[in-house]
Amino acid sequence: MNSRRKLLMGMGAAATLGALAWPKLNLQPKLPYLEKVGSGRLPNTALYTHEGKSVKFYDDLIRDKVVAINMMYTDCKRICPGMTANLRQVQKLFGDRLGRDVFMYSISLQPELDTPERLQEYVNKYHIGPGWLFLTGVAKDIDQLRFRLGFYDRDPVVDGNKSSHTGIVRIGNDKYDRWTMSPALAQPEQILATINHVDPFVVNTAVGNG
């Protein structure tokens, strides 16, 4: 009964937030500095991991994978610490599935300061395990990626204030083109269920190793 309740919670979150899901709706605001990317596919932005490895966003991190993506920066004193700590609990629930069946990514909103070395320090501070990468790159490229993922506010003044950035997790299964989102501070079990909901091969959404 408890597992069924958590499954329904996750499905409810996916259904409620699915109306905002990428890419079924055009989430890009009409801002002049936004470049258009030709297809509905996410851009292949060049990034660096906290381990200093060079990666391409779509080819290396997204293609055919189940993913959970959020945005943060190491100097953030508001939502980021709680968000990272909460997602650390989600990581624990996944057990050895993370890095094999599911991948977590945190992208810096302040790439000019968040070097791979600085992100590595952040990873050490929060005891982040394998399967969860922290990413940085060129500021304008990350800004474009941020908009394509839906991490923005339509009010340019609000959007320009990093301290008020959105606390959501973009969740998707690229292979099956299934995308939704979840509040980053939702119960870890609910975030787990929402991630599992986009994966047709997972039956038990309440247990990380199920």
pLDDT tens digits along 52-104: 999 999 999 999 999 999 999 999 988 999 999 999 999 999 999 999 999 99
Higher pLDDT, 15 or 158: 158
Tell me the pTM. 0.78
**Angle at the Cα of 61 from the Cα atoms of 115 and 146, rounded to 5 degrees:** 60
Q: What integer pLDDT is reported at residue 1 of this predicted model?
A: 46
Closest listed residue to residue 80, CA positions, set 146, 160, 165: 165
Q: Output Rg (C-alpha) for the chain, integer angstroms.
A: 16
What average pLDDT does the chain have? Answer: 81
DSSP state letters, 47-104:
EEETTS-EEEIIIIIITT-EEEEEEE-TT--SHHHHHHHHHHHHHHHHGGGBTTTEEE
User: Span 109-134, mean pLDDT?
Assistant: 97
| pLDDT bucket at 139, cuts 50 / 70 / 90 | very high
The identity of residue 15, as a single letter, is A
**Strand order across the beta sheet in which 46-49 lies:** 54-56, 46-49, 132-137, 102-108, 66-72, 168-173, 178-183
Q: How far is CA 138 from the centre of its chain?
A: 18
Q: What integer pLDDT is reported at residue 163 of this predicted model?
A: 59
Q: How far, in Å, are 47, 48, 50 from residue 116 at the CA level?
A: 10, 7, 4
